């Protein structure tokens, strides 16, 4: 029985540019259930990063609502949104993901510290999760001593360790070679499914869609197409790079 973790209702985000206005996100609605992994794709400038920023409570929508666990974050104070970000959201960024002066383990544990849960059990789970991601021998390495793929996996661990409702990933494979990219996204997908998180991944690389349950395609700020069946998704994934 899966529940709705994230709901987007008629979200519009308008930016003013040189007097003119543009709707970077234009009347988008969708839902993501817990245990579901969704890809957000579309050409450059179609509004993917803007959409992700809104889901992460980093940007407020001009109109519409975003509900995480039923809470409307478009109406929240900045203070509450900070709390929501650390409790309910997990995040991986395209690059500069990790805190450079913390080791792999410390970077993941930091998420627990933020939530006041860096106890013995939390530390043990950190170690387990990093092992699961193949990083047992990198626990005490600083980001600068790890490859891009290893850093990306540490970021994935950090995005999952505190049992968030929603996990957001912006271009998690952008700095990885194809082989690594497949591995990382597959593990990511497995963890999201096992732990019943709602996962949303922005990607340019349509091949990565083979691991997701649904693909949302955006163009000019609008949600133009949804690929839901396994066949549709595989056809899209095999079509190549967008």
Partner 1 sequence: MGLSTYLALKEIWRNRGRFLLVALVIALITLLVLFIAALGEGLGTNNRQYVSNLDAQLVVFLDKSDFIITSSRLDQSTLKAVRRLDGIAEAGPISTSSTAILLPDGKVLKVSMLGVESGRPGLPPVIEGRTYQTQLAKEVVIDRNVALRSDIKVGDEITIRSTQGTKDEFFTLKVVGLTEGQAYFFAPTIFVPPSTWERVRPKSEAEASKTIPDINVIAIKLDDPSQVEVMKARINATVSNVQAADIATTINNIPGYSAQQGTVQTQGVFTLLIGVLVIGGFFQIQILQKVPQIGVLKAIGSSNAVVGLAAVIQIMVVTAIGVGIGGLLTYVFSLFFPPTIPLVFNGQASAFAIAALLFIGPAGGLVSVIYAVRIEPLKALRLS
Give residues in contact with partner 1 (CB under 8 A): 49, 52-53, 56, 58-59, 79, 82-87, 89, 91, 93-102, 106, 110-111, 113-115, 142, 158, 170-171, 174
Q: Write the CA distances from 222 to 54, 70, 176, integer angstroms.
A: 15, 24, 29
Which of the listed partners (partner 1, ligand ATP, Mg ion, none) does 165 bind, with a CB threshold of 5 to 8 Å by partner kind? none
Which of the listed partners (Mg ion, ligand ATP, partner 1, none) does 42 bind, with a CB threshold of 5 to 8 Å by partner kind? ligand ATP
- Give the closest residue to 30 by CA, choosing from 204, 235, 217: 217
Which of the listed partners (partner 1, Mg ion, ligand ATP, none) does 82 bind, with a CB threshold of 5 to 8 Å by partner kind? partner 1
In the window 29-58, what residues touch Mg ion (CB under 5 A)? 49
The minimum distance between CB 80 and partner 1, in angstroms, equals: 11
Contact criterion met (CB below 8 Å) for 169 and 188: yes
Q: Write the CA distances from 77 to 39, 80, 84, 164, 229, integer angstroms.
A: 29, 5, 10, 20, 39
For position 175 contacting ligand ATP by CB under 6 A, the verdict is: no
For position 45 contacting ligand ATP by CB under 6 A, the verdict is: yes
Among 34, 46, 165, 173, binds ligand ATP (CB under 6 A): 46
Stretch that binds ligand ATP, among 42-50, 60-68, 117-125, 142-150 (CB under 6 A): 42-50
Which of the listed partners (ligand ATP, Mg ion, partner 1, none) does 17 bind, with a CB threshold of 5 to 8 Å by partner kind? ligand ATP
Stretch that binds ligand ATP, among 37-45, 64-72, 82-90, 206-214 (CB under 6 A): 37-45
Is the Cβ of residue 42 or residue 143 nearer to ligand ATP in the bound state? 42
The minimum distance between CB 162 and ligand ATP, in angstroms, equals: 26
- Give the closest residue to 156 by CA, choosing from 118, 121, 202, 191: 191
Interface positions with ligand ATP (CB under 6 A): 15, 17, 22, 24, 42, 44-50
């Amino acid at each position: 029985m899966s529940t709705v973790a994230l709901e987007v209702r008629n979200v519009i985000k308008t930016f003013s540019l040189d007097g003119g206005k543009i709707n970077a996100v234009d009347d988008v609605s969708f839902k993501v259930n817990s245990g579901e992994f969704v890809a957000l794709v579309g050409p450059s400038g179609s509004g993917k990063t803007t959409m992700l920023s809104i889901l992460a409570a980093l940007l407020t929508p001009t109109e519409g609502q975003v509900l995480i666990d039923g809470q409307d974050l478009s109406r929240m104070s900045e203070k509450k949104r900070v709390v929501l970000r650390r409790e309910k959201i997990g995040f991986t960024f395209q690059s500069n993901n990790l805190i450079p002066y913390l080791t792999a383990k410390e970077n993941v544990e930091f998420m627990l510290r933020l939530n006041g849960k860096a106890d013995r059990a939390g530390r043990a789970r950190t170690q387990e999760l990093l092992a699961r991601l193949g990083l047992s021998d990198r626990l005490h390495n600083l980001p600068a001593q790890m490859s891009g793929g290893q850093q990306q996996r540490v970021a994935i661990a950090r995005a999952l360790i505190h049992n968030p409702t929603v996990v957001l990933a912006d271009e998690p494979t952008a700095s990885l070679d194809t082989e690594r990219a497949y591995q990382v996204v597959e593990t990511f997908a497995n963890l999201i499914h096992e732990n019943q998180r709602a996962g949303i991944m922005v990607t340019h690389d349509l091949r990565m869609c083979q691991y997701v349950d649904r693909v949302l395609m955006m163009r000019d700020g609008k949600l133009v197409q949804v690929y839901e069946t396994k066949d549709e998704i595989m056809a899209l994934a095999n079509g190549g790079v967008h």
